[in-house]
Amino acid sequence: MSKQRACAWRRSTERTKTEESVEERKKKELVKKTRHEETRLKKSELLEKRKEYRNRMKAKDAVAAEKLAEDRKARLTQRRNKKEKREKYGKANE
């Protein structure tokens, strides 16, 4: 029993709140809040960077697709011209 009382007494003394502990707790909470704000800011910055990167890549892909379409059109017209020449003049005159 005496051991239990001693433990209970230790627990009660540890749990007492002094003004210093309250101030320390407030400081810790403030640090936590600022840390959370910093992480939110970092996350938002990363998201903005990713959005910018995605937009740049979309623009680049659009230009590449447009160029590919032009190249495809050029290839098709070239094939068509070759086919017409073959039909007109035969295979010897490609």
Give domain limits for the chain: 20-93
The rounded distance, in Å, linking the Cα atoms of 86 and 40 is 67
Residue with tokens 């210093």: 20
Q: Summarize pLDDT for 3-15 with one digit per residue, the tens.
A: 666 666 666 555 5
Contact 42, 35 (CB under 8 A): no
Please give the Cα distance from 63 to 15 (Å, whole number): 67
Arithmetic mean of pLDDT, 27-54: 90
Give the span between the Cα atoms of 23 and 43, in whole angstroms.
Answer: 30
- Using CA atoms, how far apart are residues 10 and 13, in angstroms rounded to an integer? 5
Query: What does the pLDDT look like over 77-89, one tens digit per residue?
Result: 988 998 988 888 8
pLDDT at residue 31 in the model: 85
Q: What's the rounded Cα separation, in Å, for the pair 8 and 2?
A: 10
Does position 76 have pLDDT exceeding 80, yes or no?
Answer: yes
